Structure 1
């Protein structure tokens, strides 16, 4: 199998892309959201072997996709192709943490979280528990 296989994204790339997409969903990427993404990548075991330089590549990929008409659908296509199911709840938890990082949830952030829940086919009860945990971690 060659390196140019149809899987350009690692599972970690997918997680980073989703976090960036949540942050960019309201067209205002806040410092606190970027810090949340950076902290996750620097500290969580799932990112232990992740090349931190890939973050800029993933950010640019998300920004490029968001400029296209069906960009969000294209992003979710990449996520479905490259993110293993065992990381679906992790992806949603990280997305919720980024959305909650600034202490408020914008309508656009709520919409993209709903879309992520749908695309990852997360059980509603599990999603609610993840959301509750994010709320508890980010309360002031």
Structure 2
């Protein structure tokens, strides 16, 4: 029995993007998990979301990462589920999760690049989103 769903809801797709960026370097820091949970708890997009689905979505992302063409399949599911008007939101959430532990590693940078390309995020908009994430996650 596969844990990979045939389709995702828009909220599932946003969670999948956040989980994917967190798992990109095969090390999921607690700060990134907290950032994902905080996002789900506080963003209006998730107000009516069944939180139990988040664990299933996470397992699906991890299962897809184990498959040969899993990343392409994941992006296909995300694009199918996510309205285009939420593409920049997805990228912003990915940037926030990547920045949550205070360091963006090379594998996370490559995953952000993939997300930008797959969701056709304009480079100028991407830079603004990235700077916003950096500003939100600065430390003293």
TM superposition score normalised by structure 1: 0.94
User: 1:105 maps to what in 2?
Assistant: 104
RMSD, aligned α-carbons:
1.1
Structure-2 separation of matches of 1:139 and 1:70: 35
Distance in 2, matches of 1:77 and 1:9, equals 10
CA distance in 2, matches of 1:137, 1:7: 35
Q: 1:124 maps to which residue?
A: 123
Aligned to 1:62: 61
* Residues 14-93 of structure 1 aligned to structure 2 (within 5 Å): 14-93=13-92
What do the CA deviations read for 1:59-116 (whole angstroms, capped 9, x no partner)?
1000000001111111001011111001001000000000000000110000000000
Query: For this pair of structures, how many residues does the alignment match?
Result: 135
- Residue 85 of structure 2 aligns to a residue whose secondary structure is helix
Aligned to 1:8: 7
1:7 Cα deviation (Å)?
6.3
List, as ranges, runs of 4+ consecutive aligned residues in structure 1 with deviation greater than 2 Å: none
Measured in 1, the distance between the counterparts of 2:86 and 2:13 equals 10
- Which blocks of at least 5 consecutive residues in structure 2 are unaligned? none
